[in-house]
Every structure is written in C-alpha cells, then in structure tokens.
Structure 1
Amino acid sequence: MGIDYQSPTPTTLHTDVLIVGSGPIGAVYARNLVDAGHKVLMVDAGEQETKIPGAHKKNTTKGSLNQFSEIIQNDLIPLSSSSSSMPGAAATLAIGGMSTHWTCVTPAPHPTLEAPKLFTESQWKDLISDAQELLDTNSSTYDTSTRQNSLKNILNASGHDFKPTPLACKKDETGRIIYSSTSTILSHILASENFTLLPNHLCTNIHKQNGTITSASLTDLSTNTQKSVIAKQYILAAGAVLTPQILHNSGMNDELPALGKYLTERMVAFCQVRLDKKLSIDSGEVNIMEGVREGKKWVTVINREAHQYGQLEDSVDSGDVLDIRCMSVIEPNVENRVEFGEKGSDGMPTPSFTVAPSNDDLKLAAKMMTEMQSLATTLGKFITEPTMMPLGTALHLSGTTRAGKSAENSVVDANSKVWGFDNLYLGGCGVIAEGMACQPTLTAIGYALQGVESVKAAL
C-alpha cells in the first residue's frame, strides 16, 4: 500500500517528484508520473477525512441538500475577512481539497472566447478530451428526466441554448450516481510502492540555487516537526492562493514579477424559484446549462444543488424549487491581485486581496442579472430574490500563477514550468490566464496534462 499514514522516521525524504497539494490537479500529475515509473511523494496540509483518500463526500454521506451545504460550510476555511474586496475567498484543507464536496460541473471552455491561447486548436481538443475521460465527464446523467427535457425545450424555444450540464460522475450497477474527485484519478496508483501520500504536512518553503530547486521544507502538523524533501522535480498544486503563498514565502517575488497578479474570478448571480404548476407536472432531476457565446460571456446553470449558500428554510417544501446561478467574469487585470503580509498562526504569510471589477465587467454582470430575472419569471415565482453574491463565492480564483509567453506578465510557460527554473512546475486554476466564465476545473486539468509530459521528459 503506497499510502503512508505515519510520519516517516528520517528528517530528509528523497523522491523523484514532490507534489504539494492533493486536489484533482496534483492527482493528475501523480497518476501520470507513477504510471511512467517514477517515485512520487504527495503532501497536503489537510487531514484525510474519507476512508478512500480524496473521495467525494456525497458518495459516503446521506442527508438533505441543506445538510450537505453545512458540510461544505464546515470544510471551507476563509482566506479573507468580510470587509475584504474578495470576502468569499476560501480554501479546503483536506486530502482531495474542494473535490471532496464540489458540484462536479465540468464544461469545456468556449473554443474561441475562453480556451487557452497557448495551444493549437487540435492540441487543446486532445487535452480536454483526456481531461473529460479522467473525470468521467458526461452530459447524460439525467437523460431520463422528463422534467429536464421539458424545461430545456421550453427555454430554448425562446432563443436560449440550454443543454444537459456536463458532470464528472458515473452511475453504478444500481443506478446510483458516483461523483468524481481526487480518488477517481488516484484510484489505480494508491497501492503502488512508487506513490506516498502524507496528510498533515504543510509545505512552507522551497529552496533554490542557480535556477534549480534544491529542496522543500515541510512542517509535520501532527508532530510539529520539520522535514526536508529532496526531489528531482517539484510541483506546487496547492490552489490559486496557497501556491503563490509558498512562492512568496520562498522569496521569489522579485524573480516572478507577475506572481499573485492578474487575479480573475467569477461574479455570481443567484436566485431560487418555485416552478409554475404547468411546468412541474413532469418528474426527475434538472441540471441544465447555457454556456458562453458571442455577445454573452456568462454561463447559466439551472439545478438544485448544495453550495455554501442557498439553503432553504425547513418550512419550505423544496419539491418544485430550482436554483438559477449565473456566472460572468472579472477579466484579467494586473491591478487585481493577492498579496501576502505578516505571518499567521501557521507560520505562513497572510493573504490580502485587491480586486475591483472594471466598468465593462460590471456592465456584463448587469446584463447577466437582467437575463436571470427574465428566466426566473418564465419558470415560476421567486423563493429567494435575485442577488449578486460576494466576490470569491464561486471559489474559482484564477490567474495568480498564470501561464504565458514571458516572465514579465506570467509565472509559468505553456508547460506550466516556472520561468527561470528547470525543475519547478505549478498546477491548478492559478495557471489559467484567460478570463473564463465557465467552471475552470477541466481547463486546469488540461494544463496539467500538458505539464506532466514536460515533467516526464525532464525525468
């Protein structure tokens, strides 16, 4: 069994590759590198909260959507104060990260309006296809739902283009939905002798010399002891805030002038409606989505799902209630950024955010809100009034370690390799440079699949 639940005895660990972060992106790197015969050590500051490392908690817990929303709330650690310009920013410290409770919505970015410009069309098509396969992404989960088909047809008859939402999941032999997560990606390497997973290990620093990372420092949070890792290649995939936090703490700001800058996030509009009686005669779950198109750079998802918000009062009959969520984007801007100040209780520098949507961003969000209100009144009556949620609520922060063609305005190249270093790679939504309205996980995995080929070649 490759999972190491006990702290290893030596204070210096040796491996081919160190991966910091156990979310889906770190898992993609681990899976491909172990399959190629390399020794991988994965560390995460969080605990292992599920029997199978990184399993989706919907697969292992029962309860109402309200109860699962409480699980999500308990799993989110705020990264910012309520008075911040990004009050909704949060992280999940656990094996599997946010994949232990995410909605599994995995659309591909619009091929011309959102897709990364660092790849050819054919390259990106292959990367996205491989990412979809890794996560079991499909658009047929609720194909038998007469309610979904009916609502989709009604809305599309008025000029919309709703389709079944792409979801990372599959059904077992009984028809039960099994939601994808880190465990889906790691499943067949968990028993490998070449794979070691260490929970409760915080990476605090990486050490460099002449363009090479020589070691990484870890704190074993279960024993409060220090360890060092010496590897051939290093991959930081700890999220769009905690990855630049490690780089900042390692004194790399001067070498990477774009670090933490160009932060993008989705602006979320939300409401809930009770379906009109004439629309509620059909049965089945609803999960439909309208993506970005020319002149409309926002996405709309209509479903009933657990988030850290949107719980219904216990007295409300939720049978015919649907959520409407729309997301537009704060476009990349060098002034929108995360910075790091005094160290917190964990010994790491505390993040602070400077984020302001531009006038164009705000105008787009206003159009989005208007359309959402129109959709809502077409479907039924409001249970929860239309609201623009606090920035960061989407939990889709991107751009802080963005990929590009120059160290002046990016942190990594098209292979996710850090400028000026021969053995340091970054993974996660932070590498996404484009302003995307669609959910970013599939895109981040596409970057990782490209990056891991570069790591393998270097090894």
Structure 2
Amino acid sequence: MNGPNFVGPGTGRPIPAQVDVLIVGSGPNGAAYARVLSGRHPRARILMVDAGPRLTTIPGRHTRNLTDPEERRRAVLGSQGGDSPGAAAAGTFFVDADAAARNDPGTLAAAAMSTNVGGMGRHWAGATPTPHPTELPSFISAPQWSELFARSRHLLATDPRPLTGAAHWRESLERLAAAFGGVRDMPVARTTAPDGTVTWSGTDTVLGALATERRETFAIAAETVCTELIGKRGRIEAATMRSQVDGSTTTVAAKVFVVAADSLRTPQLLWKSGIRPYALGRYLGDHLVVAGRFTPDHLAEPADPDTLLGAGRTLNNTTGTPSNGLGTVPYDPGDHPVHTQFGQVADRGEGLMMFGCMLAKDAQDSDRVWFHDDRTDRYGMPAMAFDYELTGRDRELRAYAEDCVGRAADALGATGVRTVTQPHGMSLHYLGTVRMGAADDGASVCDSESRVWGHDNLFVAGNGVIPADLSCNPTLTSVAISVRGARAAAATFDSAWRAPLISI
C-alpha cells in the first residue's frame, strides 16, 4: 500500500510513546511543519495525529482528484463525521447545525470544521492570493514575507496562470477591469499536465514525499483525539490521546509540540490543557461574504444551472466543465478596501458568474470562541460557543460590497441581480484565535515565530495565528507563517541519530 505508516488501534502498529515532534492536526499547516522539520532533520521522529478518519490511500488527496463519483461522495461524507446533521460546504460540518439553520445573531452561527486526515486541504477551492502589504504584521519584515510567500507557493504548488483562455472569460475580465481596475486571474493551487489534465493541490501536495513514501521516521494516527497537553515550568512534556476506534488512551512524550488543529480546535485544546492567556480565542475574525450570481449579457442564462455546474458543484468547484475562470479584484486600502473574488463557468454559449466580496472583520477582543466547563462536544472536548458582533466599520464595508456587486452586474450587462450576505462563519476563514504578536502584552497568544508565550517548545499553526485584518483567502499566508514557525522549531533540537519511530 502506498503512503505513510498509520498507527493506533486497527492498524496493527501501536502509537509510539516517545517522538521528537508531535503535530496535532493534519491539514495544510500541520503538513507544512512536517515537511519543513523532516527536511531540516531527516532523522527526526514525527507523529501526526488527527481526530478524523483516513479517507484515501494517499493521505490528504484532494477530493476533486477522485475520478470515481461514488468514491468522491464517500470521501466528502466521511469527512463530515458520518452522522453530521448539516454541512456548511463540501467536507465540513456545522459546530451547531441548529444555530446555523436559525442564523442566530450575536454569534458565529454557521461556524464549521472539517475532520479527516488532510483537513480542509482535501476540500478547499485552492485560491492563493497574496495579501496587500498593509494587511501583514509589520514585525515581520517585507523581505522576510517575500521569501516566506515564495516558499508557501512552492509547498502549495500555486500556479498564477489563468484557469481558462476562453474568449467569454477574457471578455468578462476586460469589462470588470474597466469598472474596477486591477482585475486579474486568481492564482490557484494546482498542477497542469502537458495534456491539460489538472491535479488540484491537497494536503498531500504540502506533505510531498511524506504522503507517498513509507519512512521509519514519520507516522500518522487517524481517528485519534489529542485531549490534553501536559507540562510544567513553561515546557510541554507529553500529550494524552484517545482513540475513537476503541476508546483507549495513550500518552506521548515529545521534544516539540505543534497544535495545528484549526482556528477553533487549537484554542480549544490549549484551554482544556490549562493554557489560557487572555487573548486565547479572542479577536476572532471571519470573512463576511457579500455576493451575487448572474449571467453576463454576452452569455445566455441557463435554464437549469445544475446542468452547467454539475450536480452538487459550485463556481468554486467546477472540475470537468468546459470553462472555469476564477479572478480577483485585490484589496487596496485606498481604492478597494475589500478582497473580491469572481468566477465564471460557461458552455455552448450559456454561463453563470459569481461575484463576491470578502470583508476583513474589524475584530475586537469581545469577538471570540469560548468553551464550556460543563458541556462537551462530539469528541469529548469542551463545547464551543461564540460571541460575535458587527461594528460600524463592518457595516460600512458591507454597504460598499453590496454596491460593488451592483457595479459588476452593470459592467457585465446583467439584470435582476440579487445580492446575498452569507451567515457569519460561512467563509470558513477564521482568523485571530491564537494570534501572533510582537510582545507578550495580553493581545496575542504566540510570538512572531508562532511559539506560545511562556512555553519554549509549544507552537500553534493555522489561520488562527494570523493577527491582521486580512481580507483575502488566508491559506497562502498561514502556510507561510507555518514555514517560519517550523524553522524556529527545527532549531530547538539536534539531528543526532535516533532509534526508528517505525520499523519497516
């Protein structure tokens, strides 16, 4: 069988009691730590754990790359936890499906997560725009950001070339450029073969050879919940695990701990472990999305959009359609203070376009995810709750975004456009919950190298580390930050020979 060693109940291999690096979470950011650390220390024994199941032989493979529709359907459903009563997007489930259905005010009603080996990297749309310099923390220098983004693009296999060269797509770009200026094709994480076949970047892309080769130094424990970090005097010594297969528990000692469990479960694990700085879970940001869907006048409106998009597809997932254009009007603090993403799919003269703006949240410390002491979630961890309110600035940006949708429709000659504001949480771009900072002043959880304040061997990773009011898709930025953190983690231990983690 291809792919790395899997350990834990049902695999025939026990979870090791001691490793060099324990990574909690197997999405793109956990994978970035594994890739960088294994590259710098080839003998380092790395264990990655994830609460979700293994869904493909090659872990983290993007579901778009599964050619069998039934295999793709099983992979998407499997990542939702099987009995999930609701899905926010492909491969995700709502934290609270009832709250999402009601769209409760004052909360992140549609908060959702993905639980499977590979995380959201198996289901994401692949958009990898670069933030405007003013959106990035200034305590990391511009040359450092430039190098980190270059490395992140490499790990994600980002391709800046257009998804399509179709004449009707170029027509739409030209019209939107006249209305907004600065319009460009969206960089998308994927590789294209000489015959035109596209392979979409998943978490396996970030893992590289770790996803396809068996190594004695790397293993994954699937369906394994990390329930607590154990330490003293500013150093984590071990972590406790519980198997979802048979309920057994294991304690794993390590030299370096990386929590990359997503923007909601990373602060949850720290909270459960008694690591509770004031900023933990606070400054929660979500991209409020204001969008419209319409047909440009140089295309005919389809009688049934499903025949154009394909069953269950959206404009972010149109693999196999004759044209799949994706573009952007980048954020500009003076002229266009939102990030705009638009997509078009067309066939035989018919077509649809989605034009949407993502609004950076004016995050306050009162915007937060917090955790109950007397209630648990489906994984036995403290149940989540949210406080989340729009500010005056947020409402001003929402009005601006609504105007932008109308301007786009006018530029493309579309009529009857209805603008929709998505419920809070639908973007899946949750920021700030374990945010980095320049000083341990109570407004951040970790330093500029993602090391949790007061803990010399504990690192956090993911979109939640991003502290700024970032308006664009965050994966490129969070992976860049993870590269920086992984380099700092690599410097904390030597590369002396060690006994193998797994005998192969």
Q: Same fold (TM over 0.5)?
A: yes
Structure 1 residue aligned with 2:472: 438
Aligned partners of 2:114, 2:403: CA distance in 1, in Å? 33
Matched letter for residue 144 of structure 1: G
Would you say the 8 A contact 2:368–2:388 is kept in 1?
Answer: yes
Pair 1:235-2:258 in alignment = yes
Would you say the 8 A contact 2:179–2:408 is kept in 1?
Answer: no
Aligned partners of 2:260, 2:485: CA distance in 1, in Å? 12
- Offset of 1:151 from its aligned partner? 1.4
The CA RMSD over aligned residues, in Å, is 2.5
User: Which of residues 489, 493, 503 is equivalent to 1:455?
Assistant: 489
- 1:67-216 pair list within 5 angstroms: 73=89, 75-80=91-96, 81-82=99-100, 83=104, 85-111=107-133, 113-142=134-163, 144-190=165-211, 191=213, 192-216=215-239
Would you say the 8 A contact 2:129–2:473 is kept in 1?
Answer: yes
Pair 1:252-2:275 in alignment = yes
Structure 1 residue aligned with 2:293: 272
Evaluate the alpha carbon distance shift between residue 200 and residue 63 of structure 1 in structure 2; reply closer, same or farther with a 3 A threshold.
closer
Pair 1:294-2:296 in alignment = no
Aligned partners of 2:222, 2:472: CA distance in 1, in Å? 31
What whole-Å deviation, never above 9, does each CA across 1:132-170 have from its counterpart, x for those lacking one?
111111221425232222211122123422100010111
Would you say the 8 A contact 2:6–2:13 is kept in 1?
Answer: no
Q: Secondary structure at the match of 2:467?
A: coil
Deviates more, 1:146-155 or 1:131-140: 146-155
Structure 2 residue aligned with 1:21: 25
Evaluate the alpha carbon distance shift between residue 158 and residue 116 of structure 1 in structure 2; reply closer, same or farther with a 3 A threshold.
same
Would you say the 8 A contact 1:20–1:26 is kept in 2?
Answer: yes
Structure 2 residue aligned with 1:424: 458
Q: Secondary structure at the match of 1:157?
A: helix
Indicate the percent of aligned positions where both proteins have the same amino acid: 29
Would you say the 8 A contact 1:11–1:226 is kept in 2?
Answer: no
Would you say the 8 A contact 2:162–2:325 is kept in 1?
Answer: no
Evaluate the alpha carbon distance shift between residue 319 and residue 116 of structure 1 in structure 2; reply closer, same or farther with a 3 A threshold.
farther
Structure 2 residue aligned with 1:346: 379
What whole-Å deviation, never above 9, does each CA across 1:175-214 have from its counterpart, x for those lacking one?
1111101100113123222110111011110011111101
Pair 1:51-2:67 in alignment = no
Evaluate the alpha carbon distance shift between residue 69 and residue 359 of structure 1 in structure 2; reply closer, same or farther with a 3 A threshold.
farther
Deviates more, 1:340-349 or 1:203-212: 340-349
Would you say the 8 A contact 1:272–1:383 is kept in 2?
Answer: no
Structure 2 residue aligned with 1:312: none
Evaluate the alpha carbon distance shift between residue 165 and residue 457 of structure 1 in structure 2; reply closer, same or farther with a 3 A threshold.
same
Q: Secondary structure at the match of 1:320?
A: strand
Evaluate the alpha carbon distance shift between residue 11 and residue 143 of structure 1 in structure 2; reply closer, same or farther with a 3 A threshold.
closer
Matched letter for residue 121 of structure 2: S
User: Which of residues 42, 46, 57 is equivalent to 1:40?
Assistant: 46
Would you say the 8 A contact 1:214–1:230 is kept in 2?
Answer: yes
What whole-Å deviation, never above 9, does each CA across 1:224-253 have from its counterpart, x for those lacking one?
110111000000000110000001111112
Q: Secondary structure at the match of 1:13?
A: coil
Evaluate the alpha carbon distance shift between residue 272 and residue 35 of structure 1 in structure 2; reply closer, same or farther with a 3 A threshold.
same
Matched letter for residue 300 of structure 1: T
Matched letter for residue 49 of structure 1: L
Would you say the 8 A contact 1:236–1:243 is kept in 2?
Answer: yes
- Offset of 1:318 from its aligned partner? 10
Structure 1 residue aligned with 2:418: 385
Q: Structure 2, unaligned stretches of length 5 or more?
A: 78-86, 302-321, 494-504
Would you say the 8 A contact 1:332–1:434 is kept in 2?
Answer: no
Matched letter for residue 94 of structure 1: N
Matched letter for residue 358 of structure 1: T
Matched letter for residue 177 of structure 1: V
Aligned partners of 1:179, 1:248: CA distance in 2, in Å? 35
Q: Secondary structure at the match of 1:286?
A: strand
Q: Secondary structure at the match of 2:468?
A: coil
TM-score normalised to structure 2 length: 0.83
What whole-Å deviation, never above 9, does each CA across 1:306-356 have from its counterpart, x for those lacking one?
xxxxxxxxxx99931111121111122111111001223421011111011
Aligned partners of 2:348, 2:228: CA distance in 1, in Å? 51
Aligned partners of 2:56, 2:14: CA distance in 1, in Å? 27
Q: Secondary structure at the match of 1:104?
A: coil
Q: Secondary structure at the match of 1:170?
A: strand
User: Which of residues 20, 31, 36 is equivalent to 2:35?
Assistant: 31
Aligned partners of 1:208, 1:172: CA distance in 2, in Å? 48
Q: Secondary structure at the match of 1:15?
A: coil
Pair 1:326-2:357 in alignment = yes
Q: Secondary structure at the match of 1:215?
A: strand
Pair 1:4-2:6 in alignment = yes
Deviates more, 1:178-187 or 1:6-15: 6-15
Pair 1:403-2:436 in alignment = yes
Deviates more, 1:183-192 or 1:21-30: 183-192
Structure 1 residue aligned with 2:388: 355
Structure 1 residue aligned with 2:305: none
Would you say the 8 A contact 2:230–2:236 is kept in 1?
Answer: yes
TM-score normalised to structure 1 length: 0.91
Evaluate the alpha carbon distance shift between residue 88 and residue 150 of structure 1 in structure 2; reply closer, same or farther with a 3 A threshold.
same
Q: Secondary structure at the match of 1:158?
A: helix
Q: Secondary structure at the match of 1:18?
A: strand
Evaluate the alpha carbon distance shift between residue 275 and residue 109 of structure 1 in structure 2; reply closer, same or farther with a 3 A threshold.
same
- Offset of 1:45 from its aligned partner? 0.3
